[in-house]
Amino acid sequence: GAGVSQSPSNKVTEKGKDVELRCDPISGHTALYWYRQSLGQGLEFLIYFQGNSAPDKSGLPSDRFSAERTGGSVSTLTIQRTQQEDSAVYLCASSLGTSRHNEQFFGPGTRLTVL
């Protein structure tokens, strides 16, 4: 596609349920990133993929959060046993690589609301 796409655009779930968020990066982009944007706060780095490997998972808030990437393309962020504090916009970004001037292209995000 022309840009990074994410689905669903909105997700409302009950506390304790599991959710899966999907990201389709720009074709040919080897690097993929997940960020979280909470109301009134800056984007918070969650995890970074280079190809199918995740060299940096340091931003994942707890072991309820996991992510995978298959075929060097689509990525899924899974949140198990959701809590109300997980409510945020989850943004995915991709880039050609990690060389200098590594412009990241962002998707529109998934707005997650945990009731």
Instruction: Return residues touching another protein (CB under 8 A).
Output: 3-4, 31, 33, 35, 40-45, 48, 50, 56, 59, 91, 98, 100-109
| DSSP conformational letter for 81 | S
Contact at 8 Å (CB) between 107 and 1?
no
We find the least distance from the C-beta atom of residue 83 to another protein, in angstroms, to be 22
Cα(12)–Cα(55) distance, rounded to whole angstroms?
A: 30
Contact at 8 Å (CB) between 86 and 17?
no
59 vs 72 by CB, closer to another protein: 59
66 vs 104 by CB, closer to another protein: 104
63 vs 103 by CB, closer to another protein: 103
Cα(59)–Cα(45) distance, rounded to whole angstroms?
A: 5
Instruction: Name 61's Cβ contacts closer than 8 Å, sequence gap at least 6.
Output: 46
72 vs 105 by CB, closer to another protein: 105
We find the least distance from the C-beta atom of residue 6 to another protein, in angstroms, to be 9
We find the least distance from the C-beta atom of residue 18 to another protein, in angstroms, to be 25
